[in-house]
Amino acid sequence: MTSGQPEFVTITIDGREHQVLSGEMLITAAEDSGTYIPRFCWHPRMTPVGMCRVCIVEVDTGRGPALIPACMNPVSDGMVVATQSDVTKKAQEAVLEFLLANHPLDCPVCDKGGECPLQDQALSHGPGESRFVEIKRNYEKPIPISDLVLLDRERCILCDRCTRFSREISGDPLIEFFDRGNKTQVNTFPDHPFASYFSGNTVQLCPVGALTAGPYRFRARPWDLLKVVSSSLFDTAHPRIEVHASQNEIVRYTGVDNDATNHGWLSDKARFGFEYIHSEDRLGAPLVRRKGVYEATDWAEAIDVAADRLGLIRDESGGDALAVIGGAHGTNEDAYALSKFARVALGTNNVDCRLGDSLSSHFLAGTVDRATIGQLDDADTILVWGPDLKEEHPTLYLRVRRAAQELGAELVVVHPRATGLDDVAFRKLTYRPGEGFDLVQALDDGRYPDVIEALDADNVVALIGIASHADGPHVAEAVAALVRARRGRSDLLPLNSRANTYGALDMGLAPDLLPGRVGVSQEGVGRLRDHWGEVPSVPGRDTAGILEGLISGEIRGLLLVGADPVRDFPIPALAEEALEAAEWVVAIDLFITDSTRHAEVILPAETFTEKEGTVTNVEGRVQKLNNIRPGPGQTRPDWAMLDDLAHRIGAPLGLSSAEAISKEISTVAPAYVGVSWDLLEWEARDGVVVPLEGESQLAHIPVAVATDGKRENGLSLHVARTMYDDGVRLRHSPSLSRLALGPVVLVNPLDATALDAVPGDSLRLVTVSGEGRFEMVVDEGTPAGTVYVPFNQPGATALGIDSAVEAEVADA
């Protein structure tokens, strides 16, 4: 990176002088100066290629005027540009006339109609009529090039946007130009569909409607859409999105170019994961179990039944006999209300928004030297030791990929198998699941000098999380301690799944945290007492401890809030046993799930498009969510239900609205002082990073703790999440649910040979926590000695977190 003040030059555009950045592309400099030059192929986030030629303008650099493409030529001092001259207009009209020569006139039935750059620029810069009278080119239409994207080839103007995105941004070059001359077309390779996790971006990028999205096709017209800006809750980076609704129904999400987070890009999960909102299975009324059967009831009865029993357990056995699991899928305001409800109404610190597969709460919420996403752009070295970013953190994946591919960062990737970043990594280290600490020790001992040299750079950003369920949280802490011990500046970005985990932790949804990144201690409780009154001062149980307490009977009552531990806890059998043993379970959720079906009362919740609030992402950035439609039936926001429950128990919370809760958060939570809705809506629309500083806040310093050593023999089991699984929201989103892998096990070819198995065979896998049958897939990206089972797949048996596994071909 260069330092110093930016250099400016003087150029003249249409007779007016402008000061612009030296080296900036003319098309950008002109737009920043108030002059729009038409374009199709140019995009500010991709390499200019000058494919469409519609941006040609008359430019004089001292050697006489000439027509040049504005997207390919940087400005220089003294440059004279004429965007309105007769020569420029005639050239642009000719280009548009050629582009329309074979373009079908099907605007009334094209999804792009009404928001089409070709329509707009044919009107503003085109000739008005065409001299071409020949029959236009025709192709079979549409071609489904993936499960989500369709291609109408005759509309394509060969702008290279989709192919460039796939090649430069996502690293999935699965769509390319075919044939030559007049027959050139965009398509996919035979038997290789456009199976990219980011394919939907090409639909938004396409300027002519050649690429359309299956879930949106023929659903609405742009001028009929109601739009609000929000954030995706399928991604811990919280990429900004625009939510589009027609006739009170969500029809699509589009990416918003937020420089702080997603640059406008979305994963397909974040882009198309809206169908669950309108699922027929959504809960629309409170349910109470009577004689083993759920019956719909009114709110008054549901609140009475749920609260009376919770209050009775508290009065008989104290707050330690009650617990709360969940809260990571809602807003900060909902999480704050839940934290306050647990401490004030239930009198318990047995509360956890994590589900046993995450780093420690103090590491996630309060680690020192916390990095921001933007720091990736300036990093000399980036270390990724954690989950496969492409599968679990797609926004971070794209930012890291850009830093390594375009900005010159040295990328070090450490993971038990192949990841989506391996092709741009400076160094890739692989280890067997469960042996991560041994690799940390080897690095500390200097066995990988090239990696250590990279980690000694002046500016290092480390993205650290749990790479495999077998690793547990201690390996990540050891990695963080190793990185911080190097000589350069090191900033950490601790990773965790579940979109608003960081906001929930900041609101105190952990057994050892209070709102504002304050630890449960006498000092923290004393400070909170002025706002909440008496609250428990001893740390409670985490999710695993809560489940064990339910089984032993020490915990009698449980409140589930948007959590499904039976499917999401690493050892589902333990969660199932715990919920079956629970004396009383109350659930707040969108659906009846494998976990909520154990509840005596289920209260229907609103999702994020149906309520206002804030969320906090992986870097601590607070952003605003905006509602666009009412929830179905009698659904309500979480905070309102919790306020009613607390009032019925006899410990009113005094919550009146989400905005009022936000104001209370800024008063109670030290880290959130000064963060208001007005600030986020009017002054800081990209959000505000909440700093890790101030009175009473945590300052967690990672410390290496040794774990079990190497396993000498046998196969190792790698269990990790994938983009598409059997999560509740995806299960009720038809366009995405069919993309889940199902019950499969990925095996190295050498291990497949040793097992005498061929692709498609059923393998029986056995661990100490369970056993199941899985369809074998031969995968060279899985190292020999390791078998990989994607977590929480439809029809799959959970195998737990132990790394030891036995495998054999199952009997037919």
The amino acid occupying position 347 is G
Whether the CB-CB separation of 235 and 393 falls below 8 Å is answered with: yes
pLDDT in tens, 726-780: 999 999 999 999 999 999 999 999 999 999 999 999 999 999 988 999 999 999 9
The secondary structure element, H or E, covering residue 81 is: strand 80-82
Q: Which residue has the tokens 């899928």?
A: 329
Q: Which two tokens stand for residue 475?
A: 């390996």
Where in the chain is CATH 3.10.20.740? 8-100
Read off the pLDDT of each residue in 777-785 and give the average, rounded to a whole number.
Answer: 95
Q: Look at residue 42 and tell me whether its pLDDT is greater than 60.
A: yes
The secondary structure element, H or E, covering residue 82 is: strand 80-82
Range in 40-49, 100-109, 782-791 the model is least confident about? 100-109
Which pLDDT score is estimated for 695?
55
Q: Look at residue 710 and tell me whether its pLDDT is greater than 60.
A: no
Calpha distance 216→272 (Å, rounded):
9
- 3-state secondary structure labels for all residues of 746-798: EECHHHHHHCCCCCCCEEEEECCCCEEEEEEEECCCCCCCEEEEECCCCCCCC
Which pLDDT score is estimated for 554?
97
Residue 711 banded pLDDT, cuts 50, 70, 90: low
Whether the CB-CB separation of 746 and 715 falls below 8 Å is answered with: no
Read off the pLDDT of each residue in 331-345 and give the average, rounded to a whole number.
Answer: 97
Percent pLDDT > 90 in the chain is 86
Handedness of CA 734, 738, 741, 743 (dihedral sign): positive
The secondary structure element, H or E, covering residue 478 is: helix 474-484
Where in the chain is CATH 2.40.40.20? 715-809
Calpha distance 665→648 (Å, rounded):
23
Where in the chain is CATH 3.40.50.740? 287-356+500-689
Tell me which of 557 and 129 has the higher pLDDT: 557
Q: Look at residue 526 and tell me whether its pLDDT is greater than 50.
A: yes
CATH fold for domain 8-100: Ubiquitin-like (UB roll) (3.10.20)
pLDDT in tens, 358-396: 999 999 998 888 999 999 999 999 999 999 999 999 999
| Closest C-alpha among 154, 143, 169, 24 to residue 99 | 154
Q: Look at residue 644 and tell me whether its pLDDT is greater than 50.
A: yes
Residue 489 banded pLDDT, cuts 50, 70, 90: confident
The secondary structure of residue 608, as a DSSP letter, is G
Read off the pLDDT of each residue in 80-89 and give the average, rounded to a whole number.
Answer: 96
Whether the CB-CB separation of 394 and 236 falls below 8 Å is answered with: no
Beta strands in 347-458 (DSSP E): 351-352, 381-385, 410-414, 427-429
Residue 1 banded pLDDT, cuts 50, 70, 90: very low
Q: Look at residue 559 and tell me whether its pLDDT is greater than 60.
A: yes
The secondary structure of residue 88, as a DSSP letter, is H
The secondary structure element, H or E, covering residue 290 is: strand 287-290
Calpha distance 491→618 (Å, rounded):
13
Whether the CB-CB separation of 628 and 245 falls below 8 Å is answered with: yes
Q: Look at residue 179 and tell me whether its pLDDT is greater than 80.
A: yes
What is the edge-to-edge ordering of all strands in the sheet holding 621-625?
613-616, 621-625, 688-689
CATH fold for domain 715-809: Barwin-like endoglucanases (2.40.40)
**Is the bond preceding 142 in cis, omega lying within 30 degrees of 0?**
yes
The secondary structure element, H or E, covering residue 279 is: none
List, as one string, the DSSP characters of 632-645: STT-B-HHHHHHHH
Handedness of CA 591, 146, 241, 515 (dihedral sign): positive
Residue 706 banded pLDDT, cuts 50, 70, 90: low
| Closest C-alpha among 94, 645, 556 to residue 342 | 645
Average model confidence (pLDDT) for the chain? 93
Which pLDDT score is estimated for 499?
86
Where in the chain is CATH 3.40.228.10? 362-494
The count of other CB atoms within 10 Å of the CB of residue 793 is 20
Q: Which two tokens stand for residue 211?
A: 């690429």
- CATH architecture under which domain 287-356+500-689 falls: 3-Layer(aba) Sandwich (3.40)
pLDDT in tens, 589-613: 999 999 999 999 999 999 999 999 9
Q: Which residue has the tokens 């989103």?
A: 733
| Closest C-alpha among 450, 399, 438, 434 to residue 420 | 399
- CATH architecture under which domain 362-494 falls: 3-Layer(aba) Sandwich (3.40)
Read off the pLDDT of each residue in 111-137 and give the average, rounded to a whole number.
Answer: 92
Which pLDDT score is estimated for 2?
46
Beta strands in 306-392 (DSSP E): 322-326, 351-352, 381-385
The secondary structure of residue 679, as a DSSP letter, is I
Q: What is the pTM of this model?
A: 0.95
Read off the pLDDT of each residue in 664-668 and give the average, rounded to a whole number.
Answer: 94
User: Buried (b) or exposed (e) across 26-56, using 16+ Cβ within 10 A?
Assistant: bbbbbeebebebbbbbbbeebebbbbbbbbb
Whether the CB-CB separation of 729 and 499 falls below 8 Å is answered with: no
Read off the pLDDT of each residue in 409-437 and give the average, rounded to a whole number.
Answer: 96
Terminal Cα distance for the chain, rounded: 61
Which pLDDT score is estimated for 226?
96
pLDDT in tens, 7-26: 999 999 999 999 999 999 99
Q: Which residue has the tokens 């540009």?
A: 81
